[in-house]
Structure 1
Amino acid sequence: MKNIQLPYLDDFLLNLQTNNRSEETIYNYERDLKVFENFLNEINVDFEKIDKKTILNYKAYLTSRDRKTPKEQAGKKKLASFSINRMLSAFRSYLKFLINMDYKIPIPPNAIELVKTEKKHPRVGEFEEIIKLIESPSQFEKNKIVALRNRTMLEVLFSTGVRISELLNIKITDIDKTGRIFIKGKGKKERFVYLTPRAQKHIKNYLEVRGKTESPYLFIPYRGRNIHIKDKKISPNYLEEKVKRYRELLGLNIPISAHGIRHAFATYLAESGASPVAIQILLGHESLDTTTR
């Protein structure tokens, strides 16, 4: 059997790299496109002969346990709809790249429709548990300054939807008096996000007890190896571990992480009627494909 490969895949990945996409993002695109490549080999269809029926069969392939992973292993469980949409979106982006490079494509990107996502219930219960999680540092941290700092971090995460890395890189000078925060995001993209009055209140209270330091960063450590570093700041691992611990202490039913709070922000906006474009801008996504994944 011939070895069918996606043409110019290495060029596509190189393009992602030159556009300052993270190593993780590039790896995810490559992994998802390799799944599609495996599918083409299984059905013995060349890239040039892909049509709408091929895409329909690919969707069915992704929902089955017979699909092959990038490492040629059988899928262990059925993929969720958001995972299927992520893979379809990756192929869309690949096709758009080919168009931009004036290469021939067998099917237009807009012909690849995403699948309907599952509705999760109950949303109200989930929202209440997220609020409990955000408020939990006040309950579980013995050190009052640490409690206020961690509570403020979670308040800012939920009120703005910033990435963890963006949150921890916020400098005091990035915040203006109107409640806007200047964010330098992935790929050196810049944007403003907006604090809720509740988050503004917690930042104000935290700054009053934060203490004087040479570090320009808003959130600083009070213990550990980084405490004597001039530009000290909180590490992503610290925040992830804290959220995990708070969730366990609260006995929450939702498996939410620090990064999951960002998704909760996007879900809350969507269910409140915000447009996908507005959510895309606030999250700092480069395209709507990423927002709708």
Structure 2
Amino acid sequence: MDLNDRYLKMFIEYLQIEKNSSHHTTENYEKAILHFESFMKQQAIEGFAAVSYLLVRHYLTWLHEQSYSRRTVAKKISSLRSFYRFLNREKMVEHNPFALASLPKKGQSIPHFIYEEELAELFHVSDLSTPLGQRNQAILELLYGTGIRVSECCQIQLEDIDFYIETVLIKGKGRKERYVPLGSYAIEALSRYIEEGRKELSGKAGHPAKALFLNYKGGPLTPRGVRTILNRLIEQTTLTVHISPHVLRHTFATHLLNEGADMRAVQELLGHSHLSSTQIYTHVTKDHLKKIYNNTHPRA
């Protein structure tokens, strides 16, 4: 194992053990570092300790020439800055060449969401007399009713649902856990699916799965599987809108804020670490607020 590999291995262990980072997070860090190491070799730079601020500037220029998005560049630079901060702290390098590298400003994209009238049709296409129809309806009600991420949805186990206090335990990013309330429609759909459809699907597997949502073979449903289900549901409607698990998450947050929900409460429900991540939804609600103002204020 050469020095670069040893440095990278130590950093990954630091993320896993000290920072308790998820597999997805550590994988993204590793990809960013290996990508930069490949660039270093192109420039005849062998070791991480030999990297200068000038090389970092060259790397930024190269990323721009390769047409990487601002978001991707920002993630790569942030990962490398953390990596070198670790190396500097452990006395493996004398300085952090990424400390002065400025991150490109992210473009402010407005989240896409679906209007309530459009959603109404979507909730009436599943065949509730079949196991898969019951499952699909439960997924739809849960995603829109809670705003959880598709990865969180697929990680839910049967034991995480508490019908008595009407909540579901969600295991979010960075292994953070939170309890999310279940609405009456989600409870009805989940109860039907668990009591009927899931039992039939579970019987198709060699051993019973703990996952709440199962595929047609009785195994755990994957995020890709959920996206496919939503695509098929939208094809059965007259709607022309794009729908995905993330669009339902955006819709959940937007509808709550439109009805006057407290932003801190929405932040907690979504599992956002920072309020700034939730504030983007206020841009979506501005048109709604303007409409209310024009319709109700005497001097509007």
TM-score strictly above 0.5: yes
Whether the aligned pair in 1 keeps the contact of 2:150 and 2:246 (CA below 8 Å) is yes
* Alignment check: 8 A CA contact 1:62 1:84 kept: yes
**Where in structure 2 are the equivalents of 1:40-59 lying within 5 Å?**
40-44=40-44, 47-48=48-49, 50=51, 52-59=53-60
1:9 deviates by 1.0
Q: Match of 1:233, as an amino acid? A: L
The answer (yes or no) to whether the contact 1:85–1:114 under 8 Å persists in 2 is: yes
Q: 1:34 corresponds to which residue?
A: 34
The answer to whether the aligner puts 1:223 opposite 2:224 as a matched pair is: no
Which stretches in structure 1 are left out of the alignment for 5+ residues? 66-77, 214-218
Q: Which residue of the partner structure matches residue 177 of structure 2?
A: 191
Confirm or deny that 1:157 pairs with 2:143. yes
For the residues of structure 2 that align with 1:53 and 1:115, how far apart are their CA atoms? 17
Distance 1:130 1:233, change over 3 A: same
Per-residue deviation, residues 1-25 of structure 1 (Å, max 9, x unmatched): xx99587112112334446655554
Q: CA deviation at 1:167?
A: 2.1
Within 1, Cα distance between the matches of 2:10 and 2:176?
Answer: 26
For these two proteins, the number of residue pairs brought into alignment is: 260
- Using the size of structure 2 for normalisation, the TM-score is 0.62
Partner of 1:85: 74
Answer whether contact 2:131 2:201 (CA < 8 A) is retained: no
Alpha-carbon distance, 1:37 to partner: 1.6
* TM-align CA RMSD: 4.7
Distance in 1 (CA, whole Å) between partners of 2:255 and 2:99 is 27
SS in 2 for 1:139: coil
Answering whether residue 283 of structure 2 is matched by residue 283 of structure 1, we say no
| Contact 2:63 2:73 (C-alpha < 8 Å) held by counterparts | yes
Query: Hey, what's the Cα distance between the residues in 2 that align with 1:262 and 1:146?
Result: 22
The DSSP-based 3-state class of the residue aligned with 1:182 is: strand
How many angstroms apart in 2 are the aligned matches of 1:166 and 1:80? Answer: 27
Counterparts of 1:53-202 in structure 2 under 5 Å?
53-65=54-66, 78-99=67-88, 101-104=90-93, 106-107=95-96, 111-120=100-109, 123=111, 126-128=112-114, 132=118, 136=122, 138-141=124-127, 143=129, 146-147=132-133, 149-168=135-154, 169-171=156-158, 174-175=161-162, 180-185=167-172, 189-195=175-181, 200-202=183-185
Please name the residue that 2:212 is paired with: 233
8 Å contact from structure 2 (residues 126, 136) kept in 1 = no
Indicate if the aligned counterparts of 2:84 and 2:98 stay in contact, CA closer than 8 A.
yes
Q: Residue 231 and residue 193 in structure 1: after superposition, are their counterparts in 2 closer, same or farther (change >3 A)? A: closer
Counterpart position of 1:12: 11
CA contact (8 A) 1:157 1:167 kept: yes
Q: Percent identity?
A: 23
Secondary structure (helix, strand or coil) at the match of 1:61 reads helix
The answer to whether the Cα contact below 8 Å between 2:180 and 2:269 also exists between their aligned partners in 1 is no
Equivalent residues of 2:147, 2:248 under 8 A apart? yes
8 Å CA contact 2:88–2:94 kept in 1: the answer is yes
- In our comparison, the structure showing a higher alpha carbon Rg is 2
User: Do the aligned residues in 2 keep the contact of 1:159 with 1:194 (CA within 8 Å)?
Assistant: no
